[in-house]
Chains A and B, each alone.
Chain A
Amino acid sequence: QQQVKQSPQSLIVQKGGISIINCAYENTAFDYFPWYQQFPGKGPALLIAIRPDVSEKKEGRFTISFNKSAKQFSLHIMDSQPGDSATYFCAARSSYGQNFVFGPGTRLSVLP
């Protein structure tokens, strides 16, 4: 119940295309869903986050779509750029819970 599933494991997209990464959870107590971006040799960095009271959040080229009934959320990267090539992690947490649960990560490669 503490797991967060993430797919795909890896993704190759052409420059200018849309990258879509999906996550699913089971614990209905989760109420905060961040996405982290990690470049090789660096620590994860918060990219964008959403709470379940909204169905979508957009920041620049990055959009989170959230489906509370399906317990799924996804990251969309519009107009993907080679500089977006990184590993992306979804995560989930209950505000009263003890820790973040991370998905296994998606390695995104954007071809020039």
Chain B
Amino acid sequence: DSGVTQTPKHLITATGQRVTLRCSPRSGDLSVYWYQQSLDQGLQFLIQYYNGEERAKGNILERFSAQQFPDLHSELNLSSLELGDSALYFCASSVGIIGGRGLKSKNQETQYFGPGTRLLVL
């Protein structure tokens, strides 16, 4: 058990709908990452938050958005869902960033992954 929790475990919805995936990081971790894993794309980084602020953006569609709340849990919102959005969505957490928040700040490397949310869009 990584200490990262994700809900729901499974989600079935229809095209055009909107869903929210939730992630609670390990106790003490300030950084949260979201990943999408599909059969043909592998693990794709979507977005990272650090202590409530967006830190990095990857291959995240405009239809998707995320936020990290003051209690450090994070939500990933997927809207106008398409069939191709069906995938496993993982959240990971890490301690955070050392060396401050400027250009010289460094990401703590070790990420702990949650069990994932399996999304099926019909």
Contacts and interface: CB of A to CB of B under 8 A. Distances in A.
Nearest to B6: A43
A34 B56 contact: no
A49 interface: yes
B83 interface: no
A95 B42 contact: no
A88 to B, nearest CB: 12
25 contacts: A34-B109, A34-B110, A42-B116, A43-B4, A43-B114, A43-B116, A44-B90, A44-B113, A45-B2, A45-B112, A46-B112, A49-B110, A89-B42, A93-B109, A95-B107, A96-B104, A98-B48, A98-B57, A98-B58, A99-B48, A99-B56, A100-B45, A104-B42, A105-B42, A105-B43
Interface residues of B, number: 27
Interface string A79-90: 000000000010
Q: Is the interface of B mostly helix, strand, loop or mixed?
A: strand
B39 to A, nearest CB: 10
A8 B2 CA distance: 28
Nearest to A49: B109
Q: Considering the complex of A and B, which 4 residue pairs feature the smallest CB-CB distances, nearest first?
A: A43-B113, A98-B56, A102-B43, A95-B106
Interface of B: 2, 4, 33, 42-45, 48, 55-58, 90, 92, 103-107, 109-116
